[in-house]
Amino acid sequence: MNTRTPIVILNFKTYLESTGEQALKLAKISEKVAEETGVNIAVAVQHADIFRISAEVEIPVLAQHIDAVDAGGHTGSVLLESVKEAGASGTLINHSEMRMKLADIQEMVKKTADNGMGSVVCTNNVETSAAAATLKPNFVAIEPPELIGSGIPVSKAEPEIVEGTVDIIHDISPEVTVLCGAGISTGEDMQAALDLGTEGVLLASGIILADDPKKALLDLVGNI
């Protein structure tokens, strides 16, 4: 019996298949699979969808990004306080499609902690993972950008990057949980990720764009 508690963060990105009503439907599927399998599944949804989704599901709802601003005159920016009040319990930070300045990452990791929210800092290699770990976010999710959306799982294509990240983060900040992502879509990919020492995965298109997202999600986590 596997006693690990793997974590799956499903990134809804800005696909039409995961916007508005469709996002809500996908969040409910995720919740159902989490209940059925006992795996921790969280959904990272678009800002405009946080309120309606967090009102209707019990699983954690994350923002995909927050801007490095404090309350004030910042028209159009995404304020941590706004996503928190809408129901988000955490946020992705520095996703490869929304890279942030080092000073802003540090400030937002601190601000999420100060506000009782979780932080998932995304990184692209061992070196930036080490840097991110010094900032003590809750999670670091290592995702080599060239594999994102490729269908080629990082856990197979570049296992040494995942292992190197796990090792260096355990050295620097053992309390940081390591996830991996990029190209992950099957249960086999997920198992490989766990075998490399991570505690879960961050993934998107493999599930969201699947013909049958529920089946895909069950395939991902059903045998862990």
Q: Is 15 in the site for its own copies (CB under 8 A)?
A: yes
124 lines the binding site for its own copies (CB under 8 A): yes
Active site residue 95: yes
Cβ neighbours, 10 Å, residue 179: 25
By CB atoms closer than 10 A (0-12, 13-18, 19+), residue 207 is buried
Give residues with Cβ within 8 angstroms of 201, minimum separation 6: 6, 7, 8, 9, 179, 180, 181, 184, 189, 190, 193, 220
Q: Least distance to its own copies from the beta carbon of 147, Å?
A: 13
Should residue 56 be labelled a site residue for its own copies when binding is judged by CB under 8 A? Answer: no
Distance of CA 102 to the CA centre of its chain: 19
CB of 188 to its own copies, least distance (A): 23
Which residues contact residue 75 at a Cβ distance below 8 angstroms, ignoring those fewer than 6 apart?
Answer: none
Q: Which is nearer to its own copies, 145 or 222 (CB)?
A: 145
106 binds its own copies (CB under 8 A): yes
Smallest distance, its own copies to C-beta of residue 21, A: 7
User: Which positions lie near its own copies, rule CB under 8 A?
Assistant: 11, 13-16, 19-21, 44, 46-52, 63-65, 69, 71-79, 81-83, 85-86, 88, 92, 94-106, 110, 123-125, 127-128, 130-132, 134-135, 148-149, 172, 204-205
